Amino acid sequence: MGIHYKTKEEIELIRHSSLLVGKTLAEVAKLIKPGVNSLELDKIAEEFIRDNGGVPTFLGYNGFPGSLCVSVNDCVVHGIPNAKPLENGDVISVDCGVFKNGFNGDSAYTFQVGEVDRQVQQLLRVTQECLQKAVEACREGNRIGDIGNAVQTHAESHGYGVVRELVGHGLGAELHEKPEVPNYGKAGRGLKLREGLVLAIEPMINLGTKDIDQLNDGWSIVTLDGKPSAHFEHDVAIVDGKPEVLSTFEYIEEALKNK
């Protein structure tokens, strides 16, 4: 199957699903604190998505048991919701997908639990900057390699490891469409970006080395050196040649401010 370039109408539907993801993550943000566990977060997210006419895309996806991927500390992505209470100083990456009106939204944010080490706070800040730089590279005429290069250059300038095995992706009627969007690469290489392309861009950046392992739960991806990792994800469309971010962290940031 080739790449599905989207019409403006389709992009509006993806935006609608992406915004519902952002609102769901804001509901999760309100609850995150020491003592809360990720099963509770997952339950709230699923209820909120269904109350708003959506379906949690991740639930049952290749057999995944949750509506959220919840990845704590050295877990990079794909953590399964569980009963272990969050602790002061943890970071938790929450990834959420919503299917509504025939289209998906997919966005992720790494939250701080209580007081977090300054070097980990910096990891979160730089990973979000990586995402921003990747978004800015989503312009007609640029190539997929320009996106990955933007992420890699910024992350490695801070000495961080850029995960290679997991990548961003095209987004639309399917959660994972072509093309793959690596977080590393050479500028000027790869598929040329053009009007109507919709991408989920999701840097996964490790405080230590880039190397990862998979736990024998069949899902959780963890850093090999046990150091923390961060993950931020936006859905981006190329509209009139320029990047348009369809998802948002505004609801999350509002919720965090009011905590």
Q: How far is the CB of 195 from Mg ion (least distance, A)?
A: 22
Q: Whose CA is closest to 3, among 150, 176, 164?
A: 176
**Residue 19 CB neighbour total at 10 angstroms:** 20
First to last CA, the chain: 45
- Residue 49 CA to its chain's centroid (Å): 17
**Distance between CA 165 and CA 167 in Å, rounded?**
7
Token pair of 139 as six digits: 């312009």
**Close Cβ partners of 99 (under 8 Å, ≥ 6 residues apart):** 17, 54, 55, 56, 57, 175
Q: How far is the CB of 14 from Mg ion (least distance, A)?
A: 13
Contact residues for Mg ion (CB under 5 A)?
Answer: 95, 106, 108, 200, 233
Alpha helical stretches, state H, 137-247:
144-157
For residue 137, the one-letter residue type is: A
Place of tokens 């936006």: 234
- Residue 67 CA to its chain's centroid (Å): 14
CB 16 within 8 A of CB 100: yes
Distances (CA, A) of 144 to 141, 154, 226: 10, 16, 30
**Distance between CA 90 and CA 80 in Å, rounded?**
16
CB 3 within 8 A of CB 179: yes
